[in-house]
Chain A
Amino acid sequence: MLDRLAGRLGPAALLLPAVALLAVVFVLPLLRLLELSFSDPAGAATPYVELLHDPIYRKVFAATAWVAVAVTAITVLLGYPFALALARAPLRWRVILFACVLTPLWISVLVRTFSWMLLLETNGPVNRLLVAGGIVERPLALLFNQTGVLIGMVHVLLPYAVLPIYAALVRVDPALLRASEGLGASPARTFLRVLLPLSMPGVATGGAFVFLLSLGFFITPALLGGASSITLSMLIDGFVNERLVWPLAAAASMILLAATLAFLAMAARFVAPAAVAEVR
């Protein structure tokens, strides 16, 4: 009996329970949010118009984009040489370096961000070291501003840049590098003319990952940032939890979602959506 029932289980039946869960907990709530974004009594499009025209909100959009671009640039610039070292390291070191990249991904972003709160305080260890080392005279403001947000986000997102760049670097055929050097090119020239161009797809993938994750990042900016560095995700939180304005919250969410999907469509050449999940 059970055998015959199971024999008929096609792909549809196997997918059904998961699809049902996603329909109720994922698709339906997003549709409800879309509906809410047009529910302003003052007019369906009012929240969108307000968000896109008010200079305060435009500043938030600009800050969100700026943080995402800055974090992407920094993680790629730091991640590339790190990935290169990883690719060239002897096996034993490679294992250790890999553990350093992958293990933090398991630790809650909340815990990692809290650590930075302790380290970056005015009287925290980082400032005390800077003052004791004579690098600065007075403690720097590293927390509750954009500096703190950048430090925390680069720390959390760096592995997402390193891994695709590493994958691209190890795919480069070593024979090409040997050929270039055999033909008399200096190591610097071989790097610039052969290795760098061939590893660019990895840079594009890593950069796209980091940018995508930065756009909607919430925990780290909310804890390390301040009133002067509000991002779109913090704005949405404020709309829901402080100002209780659902149409604005829903419209801002839809704008963030649209920006994310638009970027994903643009970057689809470099990023298979499934790969976003694979990295973690």
Chain B
Amino acid sequence: MAGRVALAAFAALLAAFLVLPVLAVVPAAFSARSFIRLPPEAWSVRWWGTFFGDPSWRRALLKSVEVAVLATLVAVPLGTAAALGLARLRGIVRRLALALFVGPVVVPVIVLAVALYAVARSAGLVGTTAALVLGHAMLALPYVALNVGVSLAALDPALGRAAAGLGASSWRLFRTVTLPLILPGVVGGAVFAFVTSFDEVVLSVFLAGPSAKTLPVRIWEEIRVEYTPVVAVAATFMMALAILAAASFRLLRRRRA
């Protein structure tokens, strides 16, 4: 009994350790001073005004949204098609294809960043939106394929046979049977892809150059030197968006289950 209580207390402590530290950026974002001290001695929303008013922060925010939307638009159709293809493969070919698809997740991101930077530099693509979009789409692709794959695996194959037996073509079968049923997986994959891109730091730091800085790149540059509470505002903003995405993802999963 005492063991049970001790275990529960330990779990509560560790849960607090997992969740609470992240929240430190929230009070820091409402500081009235030009430096961060926790808890702030005086409160204000002035740094929120700075964040949304300052052209360089606003540009970074818009760039992040632009890149994340485009990367999602690239990764979702490619990842969905790939998941459909992977589901039909068997044996060694399937294992090879899977190995290629998890590659971007397994290879350390710093290695990917340096490799992409080397290629983008000689192609003159550093500092372009295209470089960021392609890099982020590559990182998001495995997650999309995986999410769609999970939905596909839950599909009843009899449905496909029935539709084919009734004379439906593959495209019609996909459009009227498969796609509606795997849609939660596709949308879940899209949420994932968007967040993967929006949160991405390392590839972006290497590829952004001076002209395509995203929000995480701006935060990264600020906190490596001296920072004001506006960084905490940016961090709070990113956190709020991430929690929103997590909640919507969970809703989608519930609907799928």
A residues apposed to B, CB below 8 Å: 2-7, 9-15, 17-19, 21-22, 24-30, 32-33, 36, 78, 81-82, 84-86, 88-89, 96-97, 100-104, 106-112, 114-119, 123-125, 155, 158-159, 187, 212, 215-219, 223, 233, 236-237, 240, 246, 249-250, 253, 256-257, 260-261, 264, 273-274, 276-278, 280
Contacts and interface: CB of A to CB of B under 8 A. Distances in A.
Contact of A236 (B3, B84, B114): B114
B107 to A, nearest CB: 6
Contact of A33 (B81, B118, B245): B118
Contacts of A5: 171
Nearest to B81: A14
B42 interface: no
17 contacts: A2-B171, A3-B171, A3-B172, A7-B171, A11-B84, A11-B85, A26-B103, A32-B115, A81-B7, A85-B7, A88-B4, A97-B11, A103-B243, A108-B201, A115-B22, A215-B108, A274-B146
B81 A17 contact: yes
A155 B106 contact: no
B114 A240 contact: yes
Interface stretch (B50-58, B130-138, B153-161, B180-188): B130-138
Interface in B73-125: 74, 77-79, 81-82, 84-86, 88-89, 97-112, 114-119
B68 interface: no
B127 to A, nearest CB: 15
B22 A218 contact: no
Nearest to B121: A246
Contacts of B249: 106
Of residues B77, B224, B235, B238, which shows the largest number of chain A Cβ atoms within 10 Å of its Cβ?
B235
Given A21-B141, A108-B242, A276-B106, 6 more contacts: A30-B115, A108-B199, A109-B199, A114-B219, A159-B18, A233-B110
Interface of B: 3-4, 7-8, 10-11, 14-15, 17-19, 21-25, 28, 36-39, 74, 77-79, 81-82, 84-86, 88-89, 97-112, 114-119, 134-135, 137-138, 141-143, 145-146, 169-172, 174, 195, 198-199, 201-202, 206, 216, 219-220, 223-224, 231-232, 235, 238-239, 242-243, 245-246, 249
B114 A18 contact: no
Contacts of A22: 100-101, 103-104, 138, 141
Contacts of A116: 21, 24
A119 B235 CA distance: 15
Q: Can you list the 10 inter-chain pairs with the closest CB atoms, starting with the nearest?
A: A216-B108, A6-B171, A14-B85, A85-B11, A29-B115, A108-B199, A18-B82, A15-B85, A100-B15, A106-B246
Contact of B138 (A7, A21, A96, A109): A21
A9 B170 contact: yes
Contacts of B119: 28-29, 32
Contact of A256 (B97, B111, B135): B111
A103 B241 CA distance: 12
A260 B224 CA distance: 28
Contacts of A216: 107-111
B153 to A, nearest CB: 12
Nearest to A116: B21
A141 B242 CA distance: 31
Given A125-B38, A276-B102, A89 B84 contact: no
Contacts of B135: 25
A26 B11 CA distance: 40
A134 B208 CA distance: 47
Contact of A26 (B85, B138, B202, B246): B138
Q: Taking each of B21, B86, B169, which has the highest tally of chain A beta carbons within 10 Å of its own beta carbon?
A: B21
B114 A253 contact: yes
Tell me which of B8, B115, B170 has the highest count of chain A C-beta atoms within 10 A of its own C-beta.
B115
Contacts of A18: 78-79, 81-82, 101, 141, 145
